[in-house]
Structure 1
Amino acid sequence: MTGASGFLGSHLVDHCARAGHHVRALVRPQSDTTRLHGTPSVEPAYGDLGDAESMRQAVEGVDVVLHSAARVVDHGTRAQFWDTNVDGTRRLLDAAGMAGVRRFVFVSSPSAVMRPDEGDRYDIDESVPYPDRWLNLYSETKAVAEQLVRAANRPGFTTCALRPRGIWGPRDHSGFLPKLLAKMLDGRLPDLSGGKRVLVSLCHCDNAVAACLRAADAPAERIGGNAYFIADAERTDLWAFLARVAELFGGRPPTRRVPAPVLHTAVRATELLWRLPPLAARHEPPLSRYSMALLTRSGTYDTGAAARDLGYAPVVSQETGLGQLADWVESVGGVRAFVRSATLHT
């Protein structure tokens, strides 16, 4: 398993361990492995996606690879994104294939098929083709990596890709929800909806985990070489959801609206400034076409293929998930502890 010390990866580790599996977790030497050492049947393997030898050692004797590690930020150079998301996935695929791994499950993203100039899209299914241009390097490199994974499928080595959208839930300190909540706590998030309902699919972490575990066991002849959208059961009114999260954690719901021309000018200016290498490599931009697309475009996903081929069904409702999140936030010291990493990057 890659990404085991991260948000989704930590939940995957716990669920696999509880199900009685032995888990070998590829983690970087500098990662916080406290949870891994405290979890029975989990074996840390130190290395990273840039070190082919460490990956060869990590996959030796493994039946299934769950690959969730990636560079997911909205900043960085092409070389940084390509080395982690594309070449890192290629190295892991090669190592797994040579070691006799039988199943390779790649955690991808719907961003792989997002187009720069598209508008609202509802109930998208897997027939949507890859674009020839992307909104950012993250989207591009996830698309390229996903295609590598799908193309590697062969008898005895089953590969597939899962595309969960907007993963949220306990243990997330730096994803989209804590980042937006950090701004709402300080009254810095304007309403960017343009006065319309922005309908989106989100994916609770437990639902993403359920899909990964289903993909690890589903019949090879059904899933080999395929990609699947994964989402919660609910179609979410994004800005109403954010207002509810703000209310739940003591923030200020977005009310101040920014005129579209002003917003577009600010995005263009920011992206021009972020072409400077020192900024692009180290700092996340306050605005980007990608982040604006996620906040202003409707995008919902049809999970019928995942239900048919994987037997996927959401295991956590949005209402239950919000309750779990509130309990966890209290257990870690309150809302400021929840958003601490997000605050450092906004």
Structure 2
Amino acid sequence: MSDEPAPEIRYLVLGGAGFLGSYIVQALISRGDTHVAVFDLREPAQEDKIERVSYYTGDICNLDRLVDVLKETGANVVFHAVSPIHGLSDSIYQRVNVDGTKTLLEACRHPSLSGNVFKFVYTSSTGVTWRAQDIVGATEEQLPIPENGYDMYHHTKAVAEKMVLEADGDGMRTVVIRPGGMIGPRDPQLLHRLAAALAEKKHKVQIGNNTNLVDWVYAGNVADAHLAAADRLPSRKDLDANTTPHPVAGQVFIITNGTPMLQWDFSRLVWRALGASPADLDPKKATKIPRWLALFMATIAESWCKLNGGHTELTKFNVIYSTTTQWYNIDKARHALGYQPRVSLEEAAAMSAKWWKERGEKEHKARQASRRKLL
């Protein structure tokens, strides 16, 4: 075993300008880490940049660029939080989630880096095991990954997850974090959908009977789990000693807030934070559409959009997702990572709504206007 001092820890967060990635970066800086870099397709807005963080841009499928950034930053701990949003083409998910992850793993083990990277944390999703089935308090070991995922997003995340786990060992130790549905300020997907539903009075319609418990999680809590996993992966000295087995390396951890809520109760929690009155959210006043009827309506809506090139939020996926039970046992993360959710869903909803009102809505409208100009 070498008596040389441990190498200085240097972090590279891929996807660090995105939703979850920015929370990981902030968590590292907040606890006092001094060598933190971000790699993303684009730099964040100037006001979103974090002091003492180095920002690099590039394509995750560009091996040479990745190797150059890994060399320049001297990163020995890599967080891979790159992930396209939902609703894009299958080819994008294949390229980013599969090809991108493969390229990144190759870059981390590039001969020119002399084995610099010895810790690798990958952000997956609880959705990699979901096939529209009810999940009731299941553990990681009780949820095998199906041969074909429910959709291309989750299928490609599962393929990437498998590659990361297979890369564990031989000088680099890896771990996979599977977060549930996330909420928090800077959320690019959930908040605008719920805010739009509220503005369009769609919150007065409930699909299903609201008996399905669902897990959600604050993005900052997920970031905490990433840091805990990285901290508990073997050190360089332990790697050299080849100490196995290890309770974190080569493992998968489900991360939620540990407080499942009825699906429509969660939506009403966010709508209340966005300003809806209790009377306006009274479940007794909601128009309830049975699941079977909603699926029929979604089939018609999707067929119409396919023929006419339109868009609908009433999809079969959304109907099934919002009426299926999905909650998980997170004891493995509690015990092995010391994970404890520090921010409640109520607090997360309040913070998210505040951000949406102050900034999020305006930014979303600006993005929509920019896309319309391009079209």
Tell me the TM-score range normalised by the shorter chain. 0.7 to 0.9
Letter in 1 for 2:213: L
Q: What corresponds to 2:9 in structure 1?
A: none
Q: What corresponds to 2:6 in structure 1?
A: none
CA deviation string 1:246-271 (max 9, x = no partner): 22213464722223333212333455
Counterpart selection for 1:159 from 174, 198, 204: 174
Percent same amino acid among aligned pairs? 27
Q: What corresponds to 1:208 in structure 2?
A: 222
Q: What corresponds to 1:86 in structure 2?
A: 98
Q: Return the offset for 1:272.
A: 4.8
The 1-side partners of 2:93 and 2:40 are apart by 18
Q: Return the offset for 1:336.
A: 3.7
Q: What corresponds to 2:197 in structure 1?
A: 183
Letter in 2 for 1:199: L
What aligned pairs does 1:68-107 form with structure 2 within 5 A after superposition?
A: 68-76=81-89, 78-98=90-110, 99=113, 100=115, 101-107=117-123
Q: What corresponds to 1:256 in structure 2?
A: 287
Residues 200 and 236, structure 1, Cα contact 8 Å, conserved in 2 = yes
Q: Return the offset for 1:58.
A: 2.0
Which of the pair has more CA radius of gyration? 2
Q: What corresponds to 1:66 in structure 2?
A: 79
Q: What corresponds to 2:162 in structure 1?
A: 147
Q: Return the offset for 1:11.
A: 1.5
Q: What corresponds to 2:126 in structure 1?
A: 110
The 1-side partners of 2:259 and 2:336 are apart by 21
Moved more, 262-271 or 103-112: 262-271
Q: What corresponds to 2:55 in structure 1?
A: 44
Residues 150 and 226, structure 1, Cα contact 8 Å, conserved in 2 = yes
Q: What corresponds to 2:7 in structure 1?
A: none
TM-score by length of 2: 0.81
How has the CA–CA distance of structure 1 residues 343 and 233 changed in structure 2, closer, same or farther, with 3 Å as cutoff?
A: farther
Moved more, 103-112 or 230-239: 230-239
Q: Return the offset for 1:205.
A: 1.1
Letter in 1 for 2:223: V
Counterpart selection for 1:301 from 321, 328, 331: 328
Q: Return the offset for 1:137.
A: 0.7
Counterpart selection for 1:131 from 146, 160, 176: 146
Moved more, 263-272 or 235-244: 263-272
Matched, 1:34 2:46: yes
Q: What corresponds to 1:10 in structure 2?
A: 22
The 2-side partners of 1:296 and 1:245 are apart by 18
Letter in 1 for 2:69: A
Q: Return the offset for 1:181.
A: 2.5
Letter in 2 for 1:196: N
Gapped regions of structure 2 (runs ≥ 5) = 1-12, 235-245
The 2-side partners of 1:338 and 1:299 are apart by 31
Residues 26 and 47, structure 1, Cα contact 8 Å, conserved in 2 = yes
Letter in 1 for 2:195: L
Q: Return the offset for 1:322.
A: 2.9
Q: Return the offset for 1:175.
A: 1.9
Residues 273 and 350, structure 2, Cα contact 8 Å, conserved in 1 = no
How has the CA–CA distance of structure 1 residues 259 and 323 changed in structure 2, closer, same or farther, with 3 Å as cutoff?
A: closer
Residues 24 and 58, structure 1, Cα contact 8 Å, conserved in 2 = no
Q: What corresponds to 1:234 in structure 2?
A: 259
The 2-side partners of 1:196 and 1:329 are apart by 26
The 2-side partners of 1:297 and 1:310 are apart by 29
Q: What corresponds to 1:56 in structure 2?
A: 67
Q: Return the offset for 1:40.
A: 2.3
SS in 2 for 1:257: strand
Residues 258 and 329, structure 2, Cα contact 8 Å, conserved in 1 = no
How has the CA–CA distance of structure 1 residues 28 and 339 changed in structure 2, closer, same or farther, with 3 Å as cutoff?
A: closer
The 1-side partners of 2:106 and 2:204 are apart by 46
Q: Return the offset for 1:236.
A: 1.3
User: CA-atom RMSD, angstroms?
Assistant: 2.6
CA deviation string 1:8-46 (max 9, x = no partner): 1111111112223211111224x434246x422211112
Q: Return the offset for 1:162.
A: 0.5
Q: What corresponds to 2:343 in structure 1?
A: 316
Letter in 1 for 2:296: T
How has the CA–CA distance of structure 1 residues 40 and 343 changed in structure 2, closer, same or farther, with 3 Å as cutoff?
A: closer
Gapped regions of structure 1 (runs ≥ 5) = none
Residues 136 and 290, structure 1, Cα contact 8 Å, conserved in 2 = no
The 1-side partners of 2:311 and 2:67 are apart by 33
Residues 177 and 252, structure 2, Cα contact 8 Å, conserved in 1 = yes
Residues 173 and 233, structure 2, Cα contact 8 Å, conserved in 1 = no
SS in 2 for 1:122: strand
